[in-house]
Amino acid sequence: MAACEMKGFLSFLVLWLVSREKMSGAEIALELKKRKGSKPSPGTIYPVLKYLKDKGLVQIDSNKRYSLTKKGGKELDAHIKTFFETFCDLDEMKECCRK
Protein backbone atom coordinates (compact mmCIF):
# COMPACT_ATOMS: atom_id res chain seq x y z
CA MET A 1 0.00 0.00 0.00
CA ALA A 2 0.86 3.66 -0.32
CA ALA A 3 3.70 3.23 -2.73
CA CYS A 4 4.03 6.93 -3.43
CA GLU A 5 3.80 6.52 -7.16
CA MET A 6 1.92 9.76 -7.44
CA LYS A 7 -0.88 8.42 -9.51
CA GLY A 8 -4.10 10.27 -9.88
CA PHE A 9 -3.48 13.32 -11.97
CA LEU A 10 -3.91 11.81 -15.39
CA SER A 11 -7.45 13.01 -15.97
CA PHE A 12 -6.50 16.43 -14.70
CA LEU A 13 -3.50 16.62 -17.00
CA VAL A 14 -5.52 15.47 -19.98
CA LEU A 15 -8.13 18.15 -19.34
CA TRP A 16 -5.38 20.72 -19.07
CA LEU A 17 -3.60 19.66 -22.26
CA VAL A 18 -6.80 19.56 -24.24
CA SER A 19 -7.81 22.98 -22.98
CA ARG A 20 -4.80 24.49 -24.66
CA GLU A 21 -5.22 22.96 -28.09
CA LYS A 22 -7.09 20.23 -29.85
CA MET A 23 -5.18 16.99 -29.54
CA SER A 24 -5.60 13.40 -30.63
CA GLY A 25 -5.16 10.52 -28.24
CA ALA A 26 -1.75 9.76 -29.68
CA GLU A 27 -0.63 13.37 -29.33
CA ILE A 28 -1.76 13.44 -25.74
CA ALA A 29 0.15 10.25 -25.02
CA LEU A 30 3.28 11.75 -26.57
CA GLU A 31 3.02 14.94 -24.54
CA LEU A 32 2.63 12.89 -21.37
CA LYS A 33 5.73 10.93 -22.27
CA LYS A 34 7.64 14.17 -22.63
CA ARG A 35 6.53 15.32 -19.22
CA LYS A 36 6.51 12.22 -17.10
CA GLY A 37 9.12 10.20 -18.88
CA SER A 38 6.97 7.17 -19.55
CA LYS A 39 4.36 6.94 -22.24
CA PRO A 40 0.96 5.85 -21.00
CA SER A 41 -0.26 2.67 -22.62
CA PRO A 42 -3.30 2.74 -24.92
CA GLY A 43 -5.19 0.94 -22.18
CA THR A 44 -4.56 3.92 -19.98
CA ILE A 45 -5.17 6.89 -22.19
CA TYR A 46 -8.22 5.86 -24.16
CA PRO A 47 -10.37 4.83 -21.23
CA VAL A 48 -9.62 8.19 -19.65
CA LEU A 49 -10.67 9.98 -22.82
CA LYS A 50 -13.83 7.92 -23.05
CA TYR A 51 -14.62 8.67 -19.43
CA LEU A 52 -14.13 12.39 -19.92
CA LYS A 53 -16.23 12.32 -23.07
CA ASP A 54 -19.05 10.34 -21.44
CA LYS A 55 -19.02 12.85 -18.61
CA GLY A 56 -19.36 15.67 -21.09
CA LEU A 57 -16.07 17.30 -20.24
CA VAL A 58 -14.43 16.89 -23.63
CA GLN A 59 -15.72 16.60 -27.16
CA ILE A 60 -14.24 14.88 -30.18
CA ASP A 61 -14.33 16.19 -33.72
CA SER A 62 -14.37 14.33 -37.00
CA ASN A 63 -10.58 14.10 -36.98
CA LYS A 64 -10.62 12.45 -33.56
CA ARG A 65 -9.18 15.47 -31.91
CA TYR A 66 -10.30 16.25 -28.44
CA SER A 67 -11.18 19.65 -27.07
CA LEU A 68 -12.73 20.99 -23.90
CA THR A 69 -16.47 21.54 -23.56
CA LYS A 70 -17.93 24.41 -21.58
CA LYS A 71 -18.64 22.02 -18.74
CA GLY A 72 -15.12 20.70 -18.97
CA GLY A 73 -13.83 24.24 -18.70
CA LYS A 74 -15.65 24.80 -15.45
CA GLU A 75 -14.46 21.49 -14.09
CA LEU A 76 -10.89 22.26 -15.05
CA ASP A 77 -11.04 25.67 -13.40
CA ALA A 78 -12.25 24.08 -10.17
CA HIS A 79 -9.49 21.47 -10.31
CA ILE A 80 -6.84 24.11 -10.92
CA LYS A 81 -8.13 26.06 -7.94
CA THR A 82 -7.93 23.01 -5.70
CA PHE A 83 -4.53 22.18 -7.11
CA PHE A 84 -3.04 25.55 -6.22
CA GLU A 85 -4.64 25.52 -2.80
CA THR A 86 -3.19 22.11 -2.10
CA PHE A 87 0.23 23.09 -3.38
CA CYS A 88 0.13 26.58 -1.97
CA ASP A 89 3.89 26.85 -1.50
CA LEU A 90 5.12 25.96 -4.95
CA ASP A 91 7.69 28.73 -4.94
CA GLU A 92 9.33 27.35 -1.87
CA MET A 93 9.17 23.89 -3.32
CA LYS A 94 10.81 24.98 -6.52
CA GLU A 95 13.51 26.78 -4.59
CA CYS A 96 14.20 23.60 -2.69
CA CYS A 97 14.53 21.81 -5.99
CA ARG A 98 17.36 24.02 -7.17
CA LYS A 99 19.65 23.28 -4.26
Partner DNA sequence: TTTCCAATATCGGATATACGATATATGCTG
Partner DNA sequence: CAGCATATATCGTATATCCGATATTGGAAA
Q: Which residues bind a second copy (CB under 8 A)?
A: 1-13, 15-16, 19-20, 35-37, 47-48, 51-52, 75, 77, 79-88, 90, 92-94, 96-97
Q: What does 41 interact with, of DNA, a second copy, none (CB < 5 to 8 A by kind)?
A: DNA
10 binds DNA (CB under 7 A): yes
24 binds DNA (CB under 7 A): yes
Give the contacts of 66 (CB within 8 A, at least 6 positions apart): 18, 22, 23, 24, 25, 28, 49, 52, 53, 58, 59, 60
Comparing C-alpha atoms, which of 58, 56, 1 is closest to residue 24?
A: 58
User: For residue 36, which amino acid is it?
Assistant: K
- Kindly list the residues in this chain that would bind DNA in the complex (CB under 7 A): 1-11, 24-27, 38, 40-44, 46-50, 60, 64
